[in-house]
Chain A
Amino acid sequence: MTGIVVATGQVSEDFFRDRSGGGCIEENRLFCPGWVIENADRYLGPTLEHLLLVGSAVIVGFGLAFWLAVLAHRHRWLSSPFLAATGILYTIPSISFFFLLLPLTGRGMLTAIIALTAFSLQIIFRNVATGLRNVPDSVRTAAVGMGLTGRQILWRIEIPLALPEIIAGLRIATVSTVALATLAVFANGGGLGGEIIVGSNITFKTGIIVAGSIAIVMAIAFDGLLLVAGKILSPWKRATP
């Protein structure tokens, strides 16, 4: 392997393995498919890590946010403090959150997951709370008047009606967590961010494009899945545009 264009010395020689030849690397083209095929395996680990980061952050974030929002909905006096708390989470720049946590939880995946969870929680909380609040009073009044208990109203009326809003929150949270999780690498949390950093330190760009594309595809896939799930779960929304 001679004539390699760059190297800041941070990647091994092996990185530029390209048995398909064709001079793509030598000419430093923007995208070298041959190289991608050759090196596909190096993205498997980071991709799985990324999925783990996003999955656990969104699932835990949703679990917490949902109950907090329901609690705030049933006990109105809780909703102001909750909103303030999530508001603070919202204003902390996401990346600094990783660093804020470092002294507490150290470097590692846990730190990354905590930060990402806080991030998704705050988005989902707002949407669940808005969804519950937007249930028309007339619907609630009718439900009370027919003898539904508070719990029945919550589970049979309010949550189903808030579902489109809740799913919308999940979509935003998931897509942005996929993006944000690329920063987990700063907390040594793994994910696709590592490959992006590697790629940004060399002029050979194919690696960065691959890592970025995987993240984009992941975001689109999650978004699409949630979109479909939302449609299936709220057929009445489709019937009444």
Chain B
Amino acid sequence: MTDTGDSEPLQADPGREDDRGRSGNERRASTVTYSEATKRYPGSDTDAVHELDLKIPAGEICVLVGPSGCGKTTAMRMVNRTVEITSGDIEIDGASVLDRDPAELRREIGYVIQQIGLFPHRTVAENIATVPGLLGWEKDRTYARVRELLRLTGLGEDLGDRYPGQLSGGQQQRVGVARALAVDPPLMLMDEPFGAIDPINRTRLQNEFLRLQATIGKTVLFVTHDIDEAIKMGDRIAVLREGGRLAQYSTPLELLAKPADDFVRDFVGSDRPLKRLSLIPMAGISLWQAPVVRAGETADSYRSRLESADLPYPLLVDGEDRVLGWLEPDALDGAPVPSVPASPADPVIEIDSTLRDGLSQLLESGVQFAPVIESDGRLAGVLSIEIISEFLSTGDGSPLQDTVSP
């Protein structure tokens, strides 16, 4: 590891939110490279993981996904040598894990196990302080770090004195994550960290972790058997099939747009189109332009804007570009634009929702198109079912290359 001081306290710096994926001095992240890494358990005549080649760039979340028993946990545990590699190698920042003392190696890698595994006889704070303790941190530093992590993971500082048995499942999962983050490791291994928990809390924890990751920028190896979770969490997804063979390694969008084979296609599910839509924010696609009119304008101004518009229906906005509703094109024959719309704008879609949410709103209201608004309420454009189907028909899955024309 090339890093200086292995325990720079984690700084939540909102100014750096969007350079996810960058590794620097403040945001330490490792590169992990599997080279034909293979594991065969003693007494078994097949490999649990077979000649796995995988390169995980610094600062990214790589999700290992696949059916139960396909070797995800094994593949992950080879990294911190809690499972010994049978053949092949794994390198962290270019150095083979096989050359490291296992206990030392493990202290540098955050690890959240599938069953959480909190120490029942130690308080939450003591649990979090485990690795700092092993590394001989001073009391004050550990104490400050524990408090910081309790805050950062949304637990609250007063929970520090409880025992794990006094926490809810979701709180225990958070403690598991906080404990793994304790010494600010450049690499995190997370084995179904949000597995044993109800869907609502799982979503909450996923979102919290993504928000956290945006500031801390770790390299994360994340295991799940849930493809939706993989798509949501992953910068990259490695799909494993039975016997620990890599079926596909790509970005979520590529995986959905171009599954490598039938196994991946089946695993991803028949609702691939919807899943793709769920990855695209409204801001990531070119929306239609409506002929915008304001009360009191003449019909001519409408007709001139119609030229460059993608649909013929006039959209009435107020002086601050806020959507009021739709007008009938006929109503504009000669007369000035009225101040009251013929029909209200329903639904109105917010720019930070995903294409999937947008489609759902269109379908729910039984309309072909609807205005999209910025977070301050101004009109951003119009989303239509046509845009969505065209987006889906361009198979490469990269939204910005879509050309949308009326």
**Most chain B beta carbons < 10 A, residue from A136, A143, A148, A236:** A236
Q: How far is the CA of A183 from the CA of B118 in the complex (A)?
A: 47
A-B CB contacts (within 8 Å), total count:
77
Say yes or no: A147-B107 contact (C-beta < 8 A), given A236-B165, A239-B166. Answer: yes
Shortest CB distance A231–B (Å)? 13
Residues of A near B113 (CB, < 8 A) are 138, 141-142, 145
Does chain B have a CB within 8 A of A149?
yes
B contact residues around A152 at 8 Å (CB) = 134
B120 within 8 A of A: yes
The bracket for how many chain B residues form the interface is 20 to 34
- How near does chain B come to A140, taking the closest CB pair, in angstroms? 8
- The yes or no answer to A1 lying at the interface (CB within 8 A) is no
> Taking the complex as formed, is A161 at the interface, i.e. its CB lies under 8 A from any CB of chain B?
yes
- Please provide the chain B residues from 137 to 194 with a CB less than 8 Å away from any CB of chain A in the complex: 162-166, 179, 189
Q: Which of A145, A157, A160, A161 contacts B106 (CB 8 A)?
A: A145
| B157 → A minimal CB distance (Å) | 18
Residues of the A chain whose Cβ atoms lie less than 8 Å from the Cβ of B163: 236, 239-240
Measured in the bound complex, the distance between the Cα atoms of B130 and A147 in whole Å is 10
Assembly CA distance A138 to B116 (angstroms): 7
- Measured between C-beta atoms, what is the minimum distance from A97 to chain B in Å? 37
Closest Cβ of chain B to A65, distance in Å, is 22
- The interface bits of chain B over 120-134 (1 if a CB of A lies within 8 angstroms of the residue's CB, else 0) are 111100000011001
Please determine whether B103 and A139 come into contact, CB atoms closer than 8 angstroms.
Answer: no
Taking the closest CB of chain B, its distance from the CB of A138, in whole angstroms, is 4
Interface centre among B80, B130, B189 (most CB of A within 10 A): B130
Nearest neighbor of A240 in chain B, beta-carbon distance: B165
Tell me if B131 and A136 are in contact (CB < 8 A): no
A148 to chain B, nearest CB (A): 7
Say which residue of B103, B111, B123, B166 sits within 8 Å of A142 (CB atoms).
Answer: B111
Closest to A239 in B: B163
Asked if B106 contacts A144 (CB within 8 A), the reply is: yes
A147, A161, A236: which contacts B103 (Cβ < 8 A)?
Answer: A147
Q: Does B117 have its Cβ within 8 Å of any Cβ on chain A?
A: yes
A146 to B189, CA, bound (A): 11
Q: Given the complex of chains A and B, what is the CA–CA distance between A153 and B277 in angstroms?
A: 48
Question: Looking at the complex, which one of A139, A147, A163, A236 makes contact with B117 (CB distance below 8 Å)?
Answer: A139
Q: Say whether B121 contacts A160, CB under 8 Å.
A: yes
Q: Is the CB of B131 within 8 A of A146?
A: yes
In terms of DSSP, what is the predominant structure of the interface of chain B? mixed
> How near does chain B come to A70, taking the closest CB pair, in angstroms?
18
CB 8 Å contact bits of A144-173 with B (1 = contact, 0 = none): 111111001000010011010000000000
Q: Are B82 and A144 in contact (CB under 8 A)?
A: yes
A239 touches B165 (CB 8 A): yes
Question: Chain A interface residue count: which class?
Answer: 20 to 34
A234 close to chain B: CB less than 8 A: yes
> For A147, what are the chain B residues with a Cβ–Cβ distance below 8 Å?
102-107, 131, 134
Bound complex: CA of A141 vs CA of B82, how far in Å? 8
Q: Which residue, A139, A146, A240, has most C-beta atoms of chain B within 10 A?
A: A146
In whole Å, how far is A200's beta carbon from the nearest beta carbon of chain B?
A: 48
The contact of A161 among B121, B123, B166, by CB within 8 Å, is B121
Nearest-neighbour CB distance to chain A for B112, whole angstroms, equals 9
Nearest-CB distance from B192 to chain A (Å)? 12
A223 vs chain B, min Cβ distance (A): 23
- Near B by CB (< 8 A), chain A positions 92-138 give 136, 138
Cα(A136)–Cα(B115), bound, Å: 10
Question: With A and B bound together, what is the CA distance between A35 and B119 in angstroms?
Answer: 57
A132, chain B: closest CB distance, angstroms = 14
A139 and B102 CA atoms in complex are apart in Å by 18
Minimum CB–CB distance from B131 to chain A (whole Å) comes to 5
Per the bound structure, the CA–CA distance linking A148 and B132 in Å amounts to: 12
Do A157 and B115 have beta carbons less than 8 Å apart? Answer: no
| B82, B119, B165: residue with the most chain A Cβ atoms closer than 10 Å | B119
Nearest B-chain residue to A145, judged by Cβ: B111
- Chain B residue nearest to A237 (CB atoms) is B121
Smallest Cβ-Cβ distance to B110: which chain A residue: A146
The interface residues of chain B lying within 8 Å CB-to-CB of A145 are 77, 80, 82, 106, 111, 113, 117, 189
Pick the contact of B111: A136, A139, A146, A236 (CB < 8 A): A146
Interface centre among B121, B123, B130, by most chain A C-beta atoms within 10 angstroms, is B121
| A236 with B122: CB separation less than 8 A | yes
**For the complex, what is the distance from the CA of A141 to the CA of B164, rounded to whole Å?**
17
Q: Within 8 Å CB of B102, what residues of A?
A: 147
Cβ contact within 8 Å between B119 and A139: yes
Distance from A90 Cβ to chain B, minimum over Cβ atoms (Å): 30
Contacts A147-B131, A149-B103, A236-B165 hold; do A142 and B120 have CB atoms under 8 A apart? no
How far, in whole Å, are A140 and B115 apart by their CA atoms in the complex?
A: 11
B77: chain A residues within 8 A (beta carbon): 145
B164 contact set on A, CB distance < 8 A? 240
Contact A142 B118 (CB under 8 A): yes
Residues of A161-210 contacting chain B, CB below 8 A: 161, 163
Question: Which A-B residue pairs are the 8 nearest by beta carbons?
Answer: A240-B165, A142-B117, A147-B106, A147-B107, A138-B115, A138-B117, A145-B111, A236-B121
**What are 6 A-B interface contacts by the 8 Å CB criterion?**
A138-B115, A142-B111, A146-B130, A147-B105, A157-B121, A240-B164
Q: List the interface of chain B (C-beta within 8 A of A).
A: 77, 80, 82, 102-107, 111, 113-123, 130-131, 134, 162-166, 179, 189
